[in-house]
Structure 1
């Protein structure tokens, strides 16, 4: 009986894939400070490209807009949105700081009432004693250091974005040079197109769902009279991109602030229950109908990916955990040696819709 070469054995493939995965994990952990700004730049570049394509569908007098105008509008929308977001956060935080004494007095009354109901005497004094033990000077120094690091990161990200936009023009030529064989080149292009379309569909639908969740939450918060309702609705919109735990965090933020503003546990419960009902309805009924099985990722895989990327790249990793895992699924499905891994990542074991068929014939 003829034996297969070692390179064709299942054991060899498992060992090879394990080594590659191990090297990949080492690489993204060890070089995370270098990779995170680049990944952020790729995100912004991707958004610019997506907006550029949408603007390209607009026609004036039967003609498409010129390339330079589409590019200018795309950049203006992205950086205008970033500027508006920064202004929103700064304005609301400044207002919270300006009214801090009022909120503190209300919260103190709440703590006193809570202490009396629990039989705890001088609860505010005990809390103040614990706060005095905190190293505020060290906290402020760390905050300033983080801010300076953030500014430096933003500069690096902007530089990366500029070079990505410049390199984009020559990217297709490089693909042609790397893969002179037409069939291989076409296959690579199809895989890249599948990645782009899958990611674009997920981000577009998720953005629409997040806007709906944020808008409904804004209405509820306004009805309850919670201050800075737009800020909380915006945070709900942002955190909705993080699977599972993001919606819980987003719901807790305005609910906790309701205690600070109104000084009542009932206000916390009413706000939390109302916003959580919105999250449950949108998450369990609207989102499945809109998104369907577009990603086909196993819920367990999503949770593991969320934990892993959150550990490796912090908050950025949590936001990117689903798109990164989806890209891995598409790539792994294209190679016989890793196809079984792709099947394990799916929810129903079906990878036919993402499998790029080899072209037959000469």
Structure 2
């Protein structure tokens, strides 16, 4: 980490977390944004659902909700990006404050509630983006919608021509009863509606970490039946186990380091339930190359992160990418695909 980045992170820590995030997004669109040559190691190049990625380290949804900073994020060293979530109509989300740093826990709690400018504005930006790496959109539903399943279909219809993949997000804890859509019958109907209009756009499913083994098995079965192209495991958690920071009492989804173990367990269970036949993307608590490598060995074909950048800055991305390359070489893997799932039973 450079001295400038260290000073910048220290300054942002004094600000309200949501204000700091907005400033960080604005900074990405200035000449001071990172411009990192993407790694070219053949061991890192991979493919998920037909999408070619220079490396398996991606940006999770929520960082760039309105697709405002795609070009500079592409220069930060990621192998793929996910923006959003987008809803059919613009919505302000929940009242502020709605984002809390838990510094002692290397974590954050948010209850944003799908705040975004609406799919039409987001789709317009996506239509004019660069195409250096794959870019996906997280699909959401409006809080006051009377037909949330239709909302996902509507966002997909408007955005599909401009994205490389779409993620059906039924796992955010911040929209009331949204997680009810993870039940088998509702999930099957929802995924069928989205996949029926997807054309050639791969459809991913993002699930919660707060699932029993039986629920994981049920989701795996529905995903296979509806031919989902990949599953993202996982979203934020409602658990507060072991937290130290006083903000642990806040409502919302917990992300960051405490999520690593539960999200990796769900990932490994999914890998075993699907026999590795559905690509998985591991997200939750990744703060180092070792964490990313553990997710891959647990069953992830690619990984995503977000919260760790709040504490470690954008330079974390190339550090993880280069560290992964070294770990693969140390274990004599020719390509990252060869390491996927080799230790799934140990994490499940």
Same topology, TM > 0.5: no
Which of the pair is proportionally richer in helix? 1
More strand by share: 2
TM-score, normalised relative to structure 1:
0.25
